[in-house]
Chain A
Amino acid sequence: MIRETLFTPKEEEETTRGGFGEGLLRAGELNPRVVALCADLTDSVRMDLFKAKFPTRFFEMGITEQAMSGLASGMAGFGYIPFMASYAAFSPGRNWEQIRTTICYNNVPVKVIGAHTGLSAGPDGATHQAIEDIALMRMIPNMQVFVPCDYVEARVITEHVATTPFPSYIRLTREKTPIILPDSYVWNHGKANVLSVPQKKDGGQFMYNVGIIACGPVVYEALKAAKLLEKEGVGATVVNMAQIKPLDTAFLLRFVKDIRTVITVEEHQIAGGLGSAVAEFLSEHHPVTVARIGIEDRFGQSGKLQELHEEYGLTAKHIADKVRMIVK
Chain B
Amino acid sequence: MHSLTDVEVQALTLRAEDIRESVIKMLVEAGSGHTAGSLGMADIFTALYFRIINHNPRHPEWVQRDRVILSNGHIAPILYATMAHAGYFSISELKTLRKFGSRLQGHPHKGTLPGIETSSGPLGSGLSQAIGMALMDRLENHRPERYFYCCMGDGEINEGQVWESFLLLNKYKLSKVISIIDRNTIQIDGYTEDVLPLESLKDKLESFNFHVVEIDGHNFKDIVQAVGMAKSTLDRPTVIIAHTIPGKGVTAFEGDYRWHGKAPSIEEGKSALKELRSLRGKVKYGEL
A101 touches B167 (CB 8 A): no
Considering the chains assembled together, what is the distance between the CA atoms of A104 and B168 in angstroms? 23
Q: Is B111 an interface residue (CB 8 A)?
A: yes
Q: Which of B118, B121, B167 contacts A77 (CB 8 A)?
A: B118
Q: Is the interface of A mostly helix, strand, loop or mixed?
A: helix
**One of A55-63, A146-154, A221-229, A230-238 at the interface:** A55-63
- 1/0 per residue, CB under 8 A from A, across B126-169: the answer is 11111111111101000000000000000000001100110110
* Candidate in B117, B120, B128, B130 with the most chain A CB atoms within 10 angstroms: B128
A79 touches B136 (CB 8 A): yes
**Among residues 97 to 140 in chain B, which have CB atoms less than 8 Å away from a CB atom of chain A?**
109-111, 117-122, 124-137, 139
- Known A62-B168, A105-B109, A107-B111; contact A77-B139, beta-carbon cutoff 8 A: no
- Known A74-B131, A75-B132, A79-B136; contact A67-B118, beta-carbon cutoff 8 A: no
CB proximity of A91 to chain B, nearest CB, Å: 13
B127 touches A70 (CB 8 A): yes
Sample of 8 further A-B pairs with CB below 8 A, known A70-B126, A75-B135, A101-B121 = A59-B135, A62-B167, A66-B161, A70-B127, A74-B69, A76-B132, A82-B132, A105-B110
Closest residue of chain A to B166 (Cβ to Cβ) is: A67
B119 touches A102 (CB 8 A): yes
Considering the chains assembled together, what is the distance between the CA atoms of A68 and B135 in angstroms? 12
Can you report 11 residue pairs joining A to B where beta carbons are below 8 Å apart?
A61-B168, A66-B160, A70-B126, A70-B131, A70-B132, A74-B129, A74-B133, A77-B133, A98-B122, A105-B119, A108-B110
Q: Is A97 an interface residue (CB 8 A)?
A: yes
CB proximity of B158 to chain A, nearest CB, Å: 13
**Among residues 70 to 110 in chain A, which have CB atoms less than 8 Å away from a CB atom of chain B?**
70-80, 82, 97-98, 101-102, 105-108
A56 touches B119 (CB 8 A): no
**What number of residue pairs across chains A and B have CB atoms under 8 A from each other?**
104
B119 touches A67 (CB 8 A): no
Q: How many chain A residues have a CB neighbour from B under 8 Å?
A: 31
Closest residue of chain B to A97 (Cβ to Cβ) is: B122
Q: Is the interface of B mostly helix, strand, loop or mixed?
A: helix
B132 touches A66 (CB 8 A): no
Closest residue of chain B to A66 (Cβ to Cβ) is: B161
CB proximity of B211 to chain A, nearest CB, Å: 21
Q: Which residues of B contact A (CB under 8 A)?
A: 69, 109-111, 117-122, 124-137, 139, 160-161, 164-165, 167-168, 171
A71 touches B137 (CB 8 A): no
CB proximity of B66 to chain A, nearest CB, Å: 13
Considering the chains assembled together, what is the distance between the CA atoms of A245 and B130 in angstroms? 30
A102 touches B135 (CB 8 A): no
B164 touches A73 (CB 8 A): no
Q: Is A69 an interface residue (CB 8 A)?
A: yes
- Known A77-B110, A102-B119; contact A70-B165, beta-carbon cutoff 8 A: yes
CB proximity of B209 to chain A, nearest CB, Å: 16
Closest residue of chain B to A75 (Cβ to Cβ) is: B132
B119 touches A101 (CB 8 A): yes
Q: Is A64 an interface residue (CB 8 A)?
A: yes
Given the complex, which residues of A lie within 8 Å of B122, measured CB to CB? Answer: 97-98, 101
A67 touches B139 (CB 8 A): no
Considering the chains assembled together, what is the distance between the CA atoms of A72 and B131 in angstroms? 9
A106 touches B168 (CB 8 A): no
A78 touches B132 (CB 8 A): yes
CB proximity of A225 to chain B, nearest CB, Å: 44
- Known A101-B125, A102-B119, A106-B110; contact A64-B167, beta-carbon cutoff 8 A: yes
Considering the chains assembled together, what is the distance between the CA atoms of A73 and B168 in angstroms? 15
Q: Which of B130, B160, B161 contacts A74 (CB 8 A)?
A: B130
Closest residue of chain A to B161 (Cβ to Cβ) is: A66
Given the complex, which residues of A lie within 8 Å of B136, measured CB to CB? Answer: 35, 74-75, 78-80
- Known A73-B118, A74-B131, A77-B133; contact A66-B164, beta-carbon cutoff 8 A: yes
A72 touches B161 (CB 8 A): no
A77 touches B129 (CB 8 A): yes
